[in-house]
Chains A and B, each alone.
Chain A
């Protein structure tokens, strides 16, 4: 192989490195620095406040509620979408008719952009005039104010997230299912295992690496995807459907409090870092790789 000229090597290295520095490392370090200053304006210059932003963070009632929302959101969304996607993958991997149509329809929500999805669901959920409301009224039920009621708004978001994500995870499970060697399943059957036993004792353990991959992705998404919150509820009513990243966006760009926004960002990064550490240290050891 011909060696590249040193100057060319330099150019190829500088380009990605400078992008990485400009859009990842510099903002990260800058956020950390800004979090020790307060928000200044021309009339009130910013000053060093040490850990004051972090004290605010600890005393922030809204943040406490939002962390609870986010925990609930992740704890419900992740297992349900994993269960659902395994079910869908088994269904489209079976020998029944119409599997390609099923694959398409299960995968369709994933292909739509989140903003479009949120607008569709906004119409489904609208009380009185929306699709779900009209169906309920047809059968004589009292319509539910899904997004306007603090007790249902977060759950309505969870449903959208599951609907949107399961299709994508199904693809990973489908690939994993097709990689399960047929001789293992046959051997189990010869030994007299039932279909259910084959699934739980042979197939499921072999799916474990996929499950870890999917779980990590789902966890990241539960902190990363907030488009539907912006479009559907803006975190309301009374912060009942707000998630952590949405709160950061609101504090930073709607309230223009870049200092507190930075402190929240540092907090989010630390939280995600801890979770990633846990997942890779603990879960990875338990996975069965072939």
Chain B
């Protein structure tokens, strides 16, 4: 925005100081992981807000996947025309803070009513929205991995269809019963399937570590704990799944996992709640959802995207942006968004709405993810997230591929991560 425009906007705001009818033209960047209805739902919600607030306009810009959206928002901010609001990866908080492009939302939302609103979000989702005591983000499209299991396969194996495995030992034990081989000795149905390749795998692995009593990263974005006994134990469990014949050997891709589950190639899978809709639309068998089986207890990582408000915009625009975010995360709208996508509604009040109750009644699997939140920890994140996460991914892939033991691979990752993060200490 040009300086003269800012002055005019400022003057206009002063003239209208008694009312709040200032006008703002907001730019809103959003990413979409997968399906088209998500774009439509976002557009509908944005249009509805503008109808309620005719003095404002919103340009909703679909900016690609998470990484692309972050890159675009950062580039625009550096060029002096940041978006006003954007949905970006929760784990990117350190990058955004380091680049000084986002405004703490807790600085804007400082009335009592605002504080109450901020307190209404599930604590599990707020863990990676806070840095140096300030809230920088508001949860929107959040998810967590769960265990999906094929009830018919459980029945055939003589297992109770309503008690999925809760611990790693149970997973291996039940997995052995669920693994079926053909006459040639080749497996036609695996016991389970945990993705072990790429970023999705690192996300799930982070949950295994949480359930084992550890945590890979910390609130300050500088300390990472990759070579702790908890982390090594969790990676050894992943390797053991294949050694015990419960899971296919070698790397397992994230993308093929839901397909393999639908086709009966695996009796259970560990993947995001973001696949709830895909599975319920495509599975021709009875299926259930359970907590991620855990090491010492239940545990899972949170993931997905948060709302951020950018810096370098006028105070009026910030206020309008906050109002917009409040609208998008309100009970009714969060319910619409959650039902359309499978993301977990981030506030308790959303689950009290009639539509959400009806949804939970028809798809009770959705409730499991919400209940698991109590045991959830932050997703792996640090400064220089992309680079540091790549060390973690390499460690998981090298261990599962048998090129390195979990202890060696994680020690190497820790060393490389420390070398990058040392200058932040």
In the complex the two chains form, is A255's CB within 8 Å of B401's CB?
no
**Complex Cα–Cα for A103 and B46 (A):** 52
Number of residue pairs spanning A and B whose beta carbons lie under 8 angstroms apart: 100
Kindly identify which residue among B184, B197, B384 contacts A148, using a CB–CB cutoff of 8 Å.
B197
B100 / chain A contacts, CB cutoff of 8 Å: 42-43
B263 / chain A contacts, CB cutoff of 8 Å: 129
A178 / chain B contacts, CB cutoff of 8 Å: none
In the complex the two chains form, is B182's CB within 8 Å of A149's CB?
no
Q: Mark A227-245, 1 if CB is under 8 A from B, else 0.
A: 0000001101111000000
B74 / chain A contacts, CB cutoff of 8 Å: 256
In the complex the two chains form, is B423's CB within 8 Å of A44's CB?
yes
B116 / chain A contacts, CB cutoff of 8 Å: none
For the complex, is A126 an interface residue (Cβ under 8 Å from B)? Answer: yes
B250 / chain A contacts, CB cutoff of 8 Å: 127, 145, 148-149, 237
A256 / chain B contacts, CB cutoff of 8 Å: 71, 74, 95, 386
Enumerate B382-422 residues with CB–CB distance to A below 8 Å.
384, 386-387, 390, 393-394, 397-398, 400-401, 403
For the complex, is A253 an interface residue (Cβ under 8 Å from B)? Answer: yes
With CB as the reference atom, state the residue of chain A lying closest to B404: A238
**B351 CB, nearest partner CB in chain A, Å:** 36
User: Could you say which of A135-143, A212-220, A270-278 contacts chain B?
Assistant: A135-143
B386 / chain A contacts, CB cutoff of 8 Å: 254-256
In the complex the two chains form, is B98's CB within 8 Å of A43's CB?
yes
From known contacts A44-B423, A145-B248, A150-B401, infer whether A237 and B256 are also in contact, taking CB-CB under 8 Å.
no
B265 / chain A contacts, CB cutoff of 8 Å: 128-129
For the complex, is B42 an interface residue (Cβ under 8 Å from A)? Answer: no
**Complex Cα–Cα for A32 and B251 (A):** 38
Interface size on A, residues (CB 8 A): 31
Enumerate A126-166 residues with CB–CB distance to B below 8 Å.
126-129, 137, 140-143, 145, 147-150
**Complex Cα–Cα for A140 and B186 (A):** 7
**Complex Cα–Cα for A234 and B389 (A):** 14
In the complex the two chains form, is A234's CB within 8 Å of B71's CB?
no
**B92 CB, nearest partner CB in chain A, Å:** 10
For the complex, is A257 an interface residue (Cβ under 8 Å from B)? Answer: yes
From known contacts A238-B403, A255-B384, infer whether A127 and B98 are also in contact, taking CB-CB under 8 Å.
no
**B189 CB, nearest partner CB in chain A, Å:** 9
A126 / chain B contacts, CB cutoff of 8 Å: 253, 256, 259-260
For the complex, is A41 an interface residue (Cβ under 8 Å from B)? Answer: yes
In the complex the two chains form, is B260's CB within 8 Å of A128's CB?
yes
For the complex, is B302 an interface residue (Cβ under 8 Å from A)? Answer: no
In the complex the two chains form, is B182's CB within 8 Å of A137's CB?
yes
A140 / chain B contacts, CB cutoff of 8 Å: 183-184, 186
Q: Mark A111-122, 1 if CB is under 8 A from B, else 0.
A: 000000000001
8 smallest A-B Cβ distances: which pairs?
Answer: A148-B251, A42-B100, A237-B397, A140-B184, A255-B386, A145-B250, A255-B387, A237-B251
User: Which A residues have a C-beta under 8 Å from some C-beta of B?
Assistant: 41-44, 122, 126-129, 137, 140-143, 145, 147-150, 233-234, 236-239, 250, 253-257
Between A and B, 20 residue pairs with Cβ closer than 8 Å are A42-B100, A122-B256, A126-B259, A128-B187, A128-B190, A128-B248, A128-B260, A128-B266, A129-B259, A147-B253, A148-B196, A148-B250, A148-B251, A149-B250, A150-B403, A234-B197, A236-B197, A238-B394, A239-B394, A256-B71
